[in-house]
Amino acid sequence: MKEKEKMINGELYNANDEELVKDRNNARRLMKIYNNTTPEEGYIRKDVIKELFGKVGNDFYIEPPFACDYGFNIEWGENSYANFDCLILDGAPVKIGKNVLLAPNVKIFTATHPISPQLRKEGKEYAKPVTIGDNVWIGGGTIINPGVTIGENTVIGSGSVVTKDIPANVVAAGNPCRVIKNIEE
């Protein structure tokens, strides 16, 4: 099995694999183009994201600067928005639903490392997927850790560190992030 397949499947892999380095360099090339556009060049931004991401809706907006590891593992929902300084480490799939709002400086991590120092010295790592449901609002400065799912209609308060799954239809915040209250229409 190739290192790229191991990475996407959540198995230990070598991030210095030639194919993965090439993929990361391609993402960096595309992000450089994206991040150097002017507001009037929205058509360039859309084309770059459509080339970079694995799946994207027609209506979306991501404020530069934006950064990711690979891009091909990102599924970006229709009418979803990211404010300035969004970072997505997408060694594993990252699924962002429809009508999602990411405030400034939101970080989404799928990459993680083994506890064993020997495996870390060997350059081994692995990744766990992240899923964000439809109609979610993530507050500024939030960090979403590997393997987390955030349910639909949920609001995550600014500065939260999301270490575990958060259910649908709640307000959650803190470090570690925890449910504060249910959302009632």
- Active-site positions read 113
Q: For residue 163, what are its two tokens?
A: 């270490």
Q: What's the chain's Rg over C-alpha atoms?
A: 16
The Cα 153–Cα 184 span in angstroms is 11
Q: Shortest CA distance to 31 belongs to which of 56, 128, 23, 145?
A: 23
The Cα 156–Cα 148 span in angstroms is 13
Residue 124: C-alpha distances to residues 3, 37, 116, 160 (Å): 10, 36, 10, 28
The Cα 142–Cα 162 span in angstroms is 8
